[in-house]
Chain A
Amino acid sequence: MDSAELQVVVGALHSSLTFREKSDRLSVVVPSDQLLSVAMKLRDSEPLSFDMLCAHTAIDWLKDEKIELIYQLYSTKHGHHLMMSVYVSRTEAVAVPSLHTVWQIAQWQEREVYDLFGICYSGHPDLRRILLEDDWKGFPLLKDYKDDFMLERPW
């Protein structure tokens, strides 16, 4: 399925879905409260069948005061890609539904995003830091992360 056809099918899943511009592939923006149901549909509906979650990460848009969660989906059946993003506020800590029931690997990828960005996932069975120590202060991939240890490039 090419990008245009995919847009029609994905757009029909829920009325609140919008599409992101300036992306090299079809990129759908899902509201946080619809995330779990849309993900389920993306995986289970036959023409889409996005059965693999390739990557899950986040971008800290400091200026917009938002954190964008990004899910790279892939269908081993049809071979098409989809980028799914969810915007959450970066000023107050809010919980996003965990997708580990949809794709198992989400469990660990979400732990990574929690570790580096501090995003909390509701319904996650084992949410804890993955790459850093449990007693680490702060979330290093946030743009305003400060650390005495970190050095700036002198020249």
Chain B
Amino acid sequence: MVSSEMASSVLPNSLSHTRAGIHISSLDERILKGQTDSKERADRETTQEYFVNMGPQHPSTHGVLRLVLRMDGETVRDVIPVLGYVHRGMEKKAEYVGYRQQVHFTDRLDYLSAVMGNWAMSSAIEKAMKTELNDRIETIRTIVAELTRIQSHQLWWGVLGMDLGAFTPFLYGFRDREKITAIFEETMGGRLTMNYIQPGGLMFDIHPDFVANVKKFISYFKPLIEEYEELFGGNVIVQERLKNVGILDAKSAISLGVTGPILRASGVAHDLRKLEPYGVYAKTKFNVPVGTVGDCWDRYQVRMQEMRESISIIEQLIDNVPEGKHMVMKFGAKIRVPEGVYYSQMETARGIFGIFIASDGSEKPYRMHFRTPNFNNLWAITQMAAGGRVGDLVAILSSIDIVVPDIDR
């Protein structure tokens, strides 16, 4: 799995070529370039650097990300991410299907915040068509989006534990996540990919037990966050593993286009829910947690705090969900977005999910581009991981909280 990958990569490259006067490189060339460096180094310092492949099948790459590592003993000198192992051509596919059908593709981008993806797509279409929504729709959307954020962070917490070598947090995180998926299943009919938020409203009205179940979940989950902290965050090994690891300063974070909890951990209080409120966020009170150093520990803290803030948002909204219709558009109607270009974005659990639509006025988009948070976030790893250990790399990868299909689209 590892050695065979390597063999193909070190072959003399023949895939590099020139196009329009520009040299187009290839993966082989990129790796070989690193290797000459390491030979020079070997002459100088007598240690020899070597390359290893991490992925595409590797337990800690959260799917099929491949990282080519230039290593010096245990130390990672250089990370070359290789993408595309789940590139499904979603943007091409989007040009062939109607606007209403687009929504369920967003489920399959960042599947851990599927509802927020649905929302981003629906609101992009609604904004382009200037559809007004009622308060009920907006409130329910906000509540389910925050529930999604919690479940996404729960999963992240568990997976971080697993990546650091503790299996138990993973199962505790999942145990509590199941409570949210049960609520989702009851209302939306799906556990992971729900296709719930539709242009013009919601696919179903909330289940009669929804409010009661959400309240039950909140009272169940509140003390558990503290338990999470005690079991995992307070643990000296975890702190040693995360503190001062993978530091990303605010300036490079912005330049790298990093968004979401990672940007906030670097000390930039950038949260679209606050800056450009959508849904009913403007009516709610919540804080935007920010970090100071920008290391993995800050990212851990920011996400833990975000879970608490999400709970407080839900608490503020759950008691008075306004009455009204759950759908304001006629469902069967085909959607035609007026001609023009539109870009709208939304804060998902991992950062800004932007949707760019170029419409020629027909039933299908002329061009659809998904600005996915993970694509930009991933590249921060080239800055964060260099100089660390393999163990650090795993912690950093986990603290970025990548979802590979979201990167590859």
Indicate whether A and B are direct neighbours in the complex (CB within 8 Å).
yes
**Which residues of A come within 8 Å of B, CB atoms?**
20, 22-25, 27, 51-55, 57, 59-60, 70, 72, 76, 79, 81, 83, 92-95, 103-105, 107-109, 112, 114, 116, 118, 120-122, 124, 126-135, 140-141, 145, 153
4 residue pairs, one from A and one from B, having the closest CB atoms? A22-B340, A105-B257, A55-B371, A93-B20
Residue in B closest to A63 when the chains form the complex, CB atoms: B360
A120 touches which one: B20, B127, B341 (CB < 8 A)? B20
* Interchain CB contact under 8 A, B340 and A51: no
Say yes or no: is B389 at the interface (Cβ < 8 Å to chain A). Answer: no
Q: List 12 A-B contacts (CB under 8 A).
A: A27-B341, A51-B255, A52-B257, A57-B369, A57-B371, A72-B371, A79-B275, A104-B252, A128-B30, A130-B83, A132-B84, A135-B15
Once A23-B341, A135-B15 are accepted as A-B contacts, the answer to whether A52 and B254 lie under 8 Å apart by CB is: yes
Once A24-B343, A25-B343, A54-B371 are accepted as A-B contacts, the answer to whether A105 and B408 lie under 8 Å apart by CB is: no
B22 touches which one: A52, A107, A120, A153 (CB < 8 A)? A120
* Interchain CB contact under 8 A, A105 and B256: yes
Say yes or no: is B19 at the interface (Cβ < 8 Å to chain A). Answer: yes
**Which residues of B come within 8 Å of A, CB atoms?**
15-16, 19-30, 83-84, 87, 89, 91-92, 96, 127-128, 252, 254-257, 268, 270, 275-276, 339-345, 352, 354, 356, 358, 366-367, 369, 371, 375-376, 379, 408-409
> Which one of B127, B252, B341, B354 has the greatest number of beta carbons of chain A within 10 Å?
B341
Chain B residues lying within 8 Å of A140, measured Cβ to Cβ, are 89, 92
Residue in A closest to B84 when the chains form the complex, CB atoms: A131
* Interchain CB contact under 8 A, B84 and A24: no
Residue in A closest to B269 when the chains form the complex, CB atoms: A76
CA distance A153 to B92 in the complex (A): 13
Chain A residues lying within 8 Å of B29, measured Cβ to Cβ, are 128
Chain A residues lying within 8 Å of B409, measured Cβ to Cβ, are 131
A73 CB to closest chain B CB (Å) equals: 10
B356 touches which one: A52, A70, A95 (CB < 8 A)? A70
A63 CB to closest chain B CB (Å) equals: 9
Known: A55-B369, A72-B343, A128-B25. 7 other contacts (CB 8 A): A23-B340, A24-B128, A24-B341, A76-B270, A93-B20, A112-B375, A141-B91
Once A60-B367, A140-B89 are accepted as A-B contacts, the answer to whether A22 and B22 lie under 8 Å apart by CB is: no
CA distance A59 to B127 in the complex (A): 21
* Interchain CB contact under 8 A, A130 and B84: yes
Chain B residues lying within 8 Å of A83, measured Cβ to Cβ, are 341, 343
CA distance A120 to B23 in the complex (A): 9
A155 CB to closest chain B CB (Å) equals: 13
* Interchain CB contact under 8 A, A134 and B26: yes
* Interchain CB contact under 8 A, B369 and A51: no
CA distance A1 to B369 in the complex (A): 26
B17 CB to closest chain A CB (Å) equals: 10
Chain B residues lying within 8 Å of A121, measured Cβ to Cβ, are 22
CA distance A140 to B94 in the complex (A): 13
* Interchain CB contact under 8 A, A104 and B256: yes
